[in-house]
Structure 1
């Protein structure tokens, strides 16, 4: 191998290379050498380089080692696969970027000595090259002056290096610790003769995004470079002269609004009603500078999945996008222009963000704006398939689905019409699974559905195994979600170690609609009938053993989730109009369903960290945000396109909305509070009380303006029973022995009670905390109420892979003089954890503890404080750093005794992560004693074995590119 080819990956060419089985090269990629020449990429050269680096440390005796060969092959394939994912076809890879990936691969493989030697070798040769006149600045400038750009029409034009320099300097303006000149030099390494016009932007972005891990502000630089590319694309499509700089673009933004809307209407992609607004006033309200708020992940996500496009050309720009959505949500207002501007400022400042379906479809000809739909499947063949048809129609327009399957009779039950036996619910769920795959929301995101089954259903044991990787594939559903709908009586039987009876719902038809003491009484009557031989089909099992199986399957497969029927119903404001039979796709919605009503919820989230000012929560700012957000959400109901009539019936009759939060972890960072602290629990309580107060107040004021919702009379609202009051009802129904609730308050609620008494409520439900899996990416904050996953990691979604660094941590480490290359490598090695990095102060480790380092009792405690204020639920993920049946058992028992309505995913660590850390025994699950700020013990838990060899569930929206939750 020649010295020049070895230099492609920076290894010593004098070391002999053993025989290696190389993978195929990436023929569509170019490697840009340091003299600007482009040559084809071949991954065999990477394999050679890695081998030589290993042999340089281990000696030539390892040249025939199978271990070396396997390591080299695995690393080579991984590095090439990363380029496939992150590089568009036809783009270029600089030598430096290849070397960076080799270095990172060696570190991840644990070959630290090899990586260290590799780094030293690169530094040595970098110094040599710096004095080499063949690659001097003069030569480089000369070579780039001769570069020709291949235009879309096949013509060539000279590379405008001056514009590139201007854009890079503007992209770096006002950002600390980024170097425009250095970035400009690096960007030139990615340019070559014959480069396509569209690939120039990619080359610039790649030069910046590779530096995000060392300086988070390069994420903003990358976003601004992407913005320039988007502006060029839109201007060319709209036949407007491409601006030479961001400053030029500001003056064009106002003109672009009218052109964009007219083009969208012409192509039948936008509603013609948008043209009736006062477009001059609308255009004057646009704030182009807000484009610079985006991180790279956020802007790329918007570009890939949200912007209006025609034949894959995006012609919508960020501020026009926000204005289009705002106008679409103001169509029915008395003064639509004024309200559109109000909504625009709410969204474009990132104070609040609508859910994904609203962002997708507002202002279009099919404005399906709602997030979640809940249905009950009836016990007849026509009804079952009608339910599946409804699923398909709702999923087509980006709705997430929750199906209640409890009424459908169990396996072996009698079918009178045919005198045969039922096959139960499992075969039908297989069809539901395949429907979700087939109807994928127009390619924007994967169709998603969750099936719910109550724990007394005779098919429950097989239902628990739907996601197993073994068994009859005809009875497995690998692409849909499932959840247990658990009555309180079952949990009492678990605690008391008693038996539990399983029934077919056609034999016990009224259990489906009963809850609380009424359910307990009727259920025990059916058990007596079964014991007396009055029922043919039933089964008696140990409640504790069934609970163990629920938890074991949850740990092994990630499903079914654990949700609780009685808290959802006992605390529901709408008890007078029906029963909550299930939650939704993401377990935060708790609405009634029946034959003529498919429950609908309309979601959005307040960005909590945006409301932290001067070290505290800005109540006036929060009230203003919530007032506008509730109005916007209420508008969704009337503007919404309904794919099925039952959804329209329910939505117009009850008008439920679900305002949630995101950026909770960021708010804690801003307040310098660890998630695992009593102060954080108090903040969760106090902030949610404020949000609840202002949300209910806004809905009551809307009722004065627009009238109360149709089914208001008879609701808990009409009886002066607010969410905080319903907590007492739950305690009375369940029994104080099983209730560990905090019912303290900080605000004076009497004025709000008087307001509701005078006006009523505009919405039957007003709050629900959704996962915000995607919209938090857009805004650039932590998801929902989640703790930080890691402080440095690579995030995957449908837009690709993105390096994510915790900017709060970086700022703290910079202030201490600890942010350097060694720290970056330590964070990579320890998967973003600070726990084992000795030079970091303990106080900082506590504040920046990652999700698996936080005892999940703190998450439950904070969630229970929020739950007392929320009329619906919250998507609460729980985390386990080690396999322990006792801890898992105690965790979910704690969630129930704390009054949580639902839980969401259980996250567990993969084996590769656990090998890097020292196992430590987790403390016993406990509660907070609020008088002493200490922990007190929980009710007894029962230990059992978990399958530690099972594959850990994937992270929704983090490791699974296709899972985007309901926002």
Structure 2
């Protein structure tokens, strides 16, 4: 790389058009940014990879670059030429004058290296075998087998043109020491590849393949009962021998369902696609290894493709042609076209197939009912269930208790117990129990409920580990808009309000207000609606809770209005199912990987249809093979058979099509893609109804009336007297689908919901759910550790334009993965790769509104604000309500300060290193992929 490229430097008096003569005799215009890049590299060489992220170095480079430019352009002539060597001489001189002698020397060496690079070099020597002894697990010792390392690394780098095997080998050997254990050598291999991910995203695949070699050794050895090694090439035949042994071992260990042995295992093993092991990026495979692959005494015996086939077999147990369906299910899972939720991946095909991700309950207003609810929380959470509790029926503080003639302490003390239960039941150490408490806005304890997550006050009335959400009726929003009064009641005196919504709720509520005025209600409180709304938003900003969810939109558009009431959402605000004291709502989830169905030209509709039909069948099957921990959940699930099909990889799909998130095209794509997914999902459920029969409570549902999700918008619009902003455009033949649903019915009461997908999107190596890109370079933390994440689409674009180098990596670190402050990145790339906090959150609301019209449930919608204010929050959440959203999820905001940057190579690239993450959003947020937050698939 030479210093020269196109640009024009300006002097204070007149423009100087300085021409740079290259070494080959060609010429180009002067560009001082190339001087800045060269100086920065020199500082990196002397002061390490952290140098370019410090203010001192960046300011000094900017100053010295200006001095060099001034020196070159202040020699009199308005038009003149200069040799590349002259420019480099001025750079050296400026560094020397600034007292940066070591940096100047590094710059000289850099010039010499570039000179050598332009001349033919001698063939590289072969890495010498070091005198290092390796200890095996049995205590024996042998020399480090460098040749074996070279073979493993070469296989890991196969097909990855940007990966340098010798670089990984040198880094690995440099991390080894005499007497090192064999497992540490394997770790050193993986860590060596990881250390280069920040500068070249292809290394994430090389690191995964090196980890895969370790997994193969561990699993094959455990299954065969003796040490085994296999290359990726060997697995083309090794899987066939391994798989039946794996099933038998799993059954003998009491982990796999004995019915799996009844399958034609040879036929299934022949369908395994070993090459798909190479599709994992490191984060995905490490997550799979740490949390999903089955093990005996912490020794894994399950390989990745065996996991997907085991899951597929578990969901095909009751199919007529089990093998054919298992293979079909395996295909969509192993290709990452669709991924089932974490409980399904954990438990399908096992002796305890608890496959449900979400449970919704209503808590009864008496002591026995309250503790039954808390007990059910523990049982449901035990096998990886996320919980949403409706606490609205529980009477408020000060309410009369007939049995003791005393006064209630309100709902908060019981929420504290529910909070501690969630902490205690950590799902066998796999992940922390998680629960969200919902309370309606008219509950007299609502003001204390808002403070549950605060860090000040009486700790006995705080729930630091529980999520909370406001269940907001439309009438409250109307009172806010009209600056009216709002009345708080205790539910024991206004029992109707819990089960009413829309016009009937408004009528009953006004009736209770009149009764309070007449003195007929003992406990009530009047507040200004706007004041309560502002406090809700203020606490949301300060603590991240309670979330804002909308009761009437959830109920008025629910297909199951005839069979009950939606009293809350779930842990992640995307599930909207009816609950009663006798029925716990249950939902089984999975997500379509949208980017796997997208090309630069758009969606592959036929492939998407095939994937959706297979996914809906899989999710419907889980209902019948599911292990239910409470009778209330089993009764509900078998009667209504709800499933929740969502999507992930939305941001990747936009990148593939070159569509910026902040564009009408992005909103249109959200609309079109969700319309197709909705159409195919409803079609698939109706096909299943024709084959297997409709769900028990189908008659009387909106489905039975030919009212599809797109049609139910009119119900909400009518209830709000037209005060609704929803685009109702459509492209597919919905009339034909209505006729089919009326004729054949629906197998499932509910079909769609968009969950966060944090974990399963990691497994597939795609962007999370419908989220915008958080950062283009950062360290992601989860229960598997710290992982460098670089946006591979951005890196590819920067490479294509000759802009990807170590200085760019340093710039990305310095700017926290945000491109706006990096001037040498072209404007079109800054727009395409804008990060979450650069995006006006109204774009998120508009896209979510377009999706919501097609969805019978809801979507986990995070909202990002770089500089929240009371006015901005008010406008944003009123807009979310007016655009017909059923729920919102976390409000994410940025901290005013940032943590000190550190080189990623030095943190996650060496043995025993202490990782240092780049900043995540702080304050009122849930960290992206927070290992303690399992509000995610």
List aligned pairs for 1:490-639, cutoff 5 A: 490-639=476-625
Change (3 A) 1:794 1:102: farther
Look up the SS of the partner of 2:519 in the other structure. Answer: coil
Corresponding position of 1:966: 936
Change (3 A) 1:850 1:100: farther
Corresponding position of 2:148: 163
CA–CA separation in structure 2 for the residues paired with 1:700 and 1:742: 26
Verify: 1:896 aligned to 2:902, yes or no.
Answer: no
CA–CA separation in structure 2 for the residues paired with 1:955 and 1:100: 37
Equivalent in 315, 319, 325 of residue 301 of structure 2: 315
Corresponding position of 1:716: 702
2:217–2:230: 8 Å Cα contact kept in structure 1? Answer: no
The alignment yields a C-alpha RMSD, in angstroms, of 2.3
Equivalent in 191, 196, 210 of residue 225 of structure 1: 210
Corresponding position of 2:27: none
Equivalent in 670, 676, 680 of residue 684 of structure 1: 670
Corresponding position of 2:459: 473
Verify: 1:203 aligned to 2:199, yes or no.
Answer: no
1:864–1:900: 8 Å Cα contact kept in structure 2? Answer: yes
Corresponding position of 1:370: 356
List aligned pairs for 1:625-704, cutoff 5 A: 625-704=611-690
1:290–1:349: 8 Å Cα contact kept in structure 2? Answer: yes
CA–CA separation in structure 2 for the residues paired with 1:101 and 1:912: 27
Deviation track 1:135-175 (CA, whole Å, cap 9, x = no partner) reads x9989624x2x321111111112222111100101101111
Equivalent in 846, 849, 858 of residue 831 of structure 2: 846
Corresponding position of 1:939: none
Deviation track 1:295-354 (CA, whole Å, cap 9, x = no partner) reads 000000000000101111111111011111111111111111111000000100000000
Corresponding position of 1:825: 810
CA–CA separation in structure 2 for the residues paired with 1:164 and 1:100: 29
Unaligned runs of 5+ in 2: 1-38, 62-99, 117-122, 902-920
Equivalent in 905, 910, 919 of residue 890 of structure 2: 905
Corresponding position of 2:757: 772
Look up the SS of the partner of 2:327 in the other structure. Answer: helix
Deviation for aligned residue 1:715: 0.3
Look up the SS of the partner of 2:314 in the other structure. Answer: helix
CA–CA separation in structure 1 for the residues paired with 2:507 and 2:598: 49
Verify: 1:869 aligned to 2:854, yes or no.
Answer: yes
CA–CA separation in structure 1 for the residues paired with 2:805 and 2:640: 56
Deviation for aligned residue 1:247: 1.4
Larger CA deviation: 242-251 vs 400-409: 242-251
Corresponding position of 1:341: 327
Greater than 4 Å deviation, 4+ residue runs: 99-102, 104-109, 113-131, 136-140, 913-916
CA–CA separation in structure 2 for the residues paired with 1:579 and 1:965: 23
Deviation track 1:168-192 (CA, whole Å, cap 9, x = no partner) reads 0110111121111222222221122
Corresponding position of 2:128: 141
Deviation track 1:575-612 (CA, whole Å, cap 9, x = no partner) reads 00000000000000000000110000010000000001
2:890–2:925: 8 Å Cα contact kept in structure 1? Answer: no
List aligned pairs for 1:103-114, cutoff 5 A: 103-108=48-53, 110-112=55-57
Look up the SS of the partner of 1:701 in the other structure. Answer: helix
Deviation for aligned residue 1:817: 1.0
Deviation for aligned residue 1:236: 1.9
1:430–1:474: 8 Å Cα contact kept in structure 2? Answer: yes
Corresponding position of 2:220: 235
Corresponding position of 1:278: 264
CA–CA separation in structure 1 for the residues paired with 2:104 and 2:311: 53
1:167–1:246: 8 Å Cα contact kept in structure 2? Answer: no
Corresponding position of 1:78: none
CA–CA separation in structure 2 for the residues paired with 1:620 and 1:592: 34
CA–CA separation in structure 2 for the residues paired with 1:881 and 1:223: 35
Deviation for aligned residue 1:104: 4.3
CA–CA separation in structure 2 for the residues paired with 1:273 and 1:837: 58
2:53–2:810: 8 Å Cα contact kept in structure 1? Answer: no
Deviation track 1:616-662 (CA, whole Å, cap 9, x = no partner) reads 10000000000100000000000000000000000000000000000
Change (3 A) 1:705 1:122: farther
2:566–2:576: 8 Å Cα contact kept in structure 1? Answer: yes
1:402–1:449: 8 Å Cα contact kept in structure 2? Answer: yes
Unaligned runs of 5+ in 1: 1-56, 58-98, 917-949
Larger CA deviation: 150-159 vs 566-575: 150-159
Deviation for aligned residue 1:241: 5.0
CA–CA separation in structure 2 for the residues paired with 1:198 and 1:643: 40
Deviation track 1:798-835 (CA, whole Å, cap 9, x = no partner) reads 00000000001111111111111111111000000010
CA–CA separation in structure 2 for the residues paired with 1:951 and 1:282: 47
Equivalent in 443, 449, 457 of residue 457 of structure 1: 443
Look up the SS of the partner of 2:128 in the other structure. Answer: helix
CA–CA separation in structure 2 for the residues paired with 1:129 and 1:158: 35
Look up the SS of the partner of 1:963 in the other structure. Answer: coil
Deviation for aligned residue 1:250: 2.8
CA–CA separation in structure 2 for the residues paired with 1:447 and 1:810: 38
CA–CA separation in structure 2 for the residues paired with 1:253 and 1:112: 54
Corresponding position of 1:942: none
Query: What is the total number of aligned residue pairs between the two structures?
Result: 829
Verify: 1:410 aligned to 2:380, yes or no.
Answer: no
Verify: 1:784 aligned to 2:729, yes or no.
Answer: no
Equivalent in 913, 926, 930 of residue 955 of structure 1: 926
Change (3 A) 1:122 1:344: farther
1:957–1:963: 8 Å Cα contact kept in structure 2? Answer: no
Look up the SS of the partner of 1:412 in the other structure. Answer: strand
Deviation for aligned residue 1:957: 3.9
CA–CA separation in structure 1 for the residues paired with 2:642 and 2:614: 16
Corresponding position of 1:37: none
List aligned pairs for 1:118-133, cutoff 5 A: none
CA–CA separation in structure 1 for the residues paired with 2:58 and 2:743: 74
Equivalent in 349, 368, 371 of residue 382 of structure 1: 368
Corresponding position of 1:292: 278
2:594–2:650: 8 Å Cα contact kept in structure 1? Answer: yes
CA–CA separation in structure 1 for the residues paired with 2:600 and 2:859: 28
Deviation for aligned residue 1:121: 7.6
Verify: 1:730 aligned to 2:700, yes or no.
Answer: no
Greater length-normalized contact order (CA 8 Å, ≥ 6 residues apart): 2
CA–CA separation in structure 2 for the residues paired with 1:785 and 1:448: 22
2:600–2:658: 8 Å Cα contact kept in structure 1? Answer: no
Look up the SS of the partner of 1:912 in the other structure. Answer: coil
CA–CA separation in structure 1 for the residues paired with 2:471 and 2:509: 15
Change (3 A) 1:651 1:810: same
Change (3 A) 1:428 1:535: same
CA–CA separation in structure 1 for the residues paired with 2:350 and 2:645: 23
1:957–1:965: 8 Å Cα contact kept in structure 2? Answer: no
Deviation for aligned residue 1:431: 0.5
CA–CA separation in structure 1 for the residues paired with 2:256 and 2:272: 19
CA–CA separation in structure 2 for the residues paired with 1:167 and 1:616: 38
Deviation track 1:79-110 (CA, whole Å, cap 9, x = no partner) reads xxxxxxxxxxxxxxxxxxxx999834555554
Change (3 A) 1:396 1:915: closer
Change (3 A) 1:223 1:119: farther
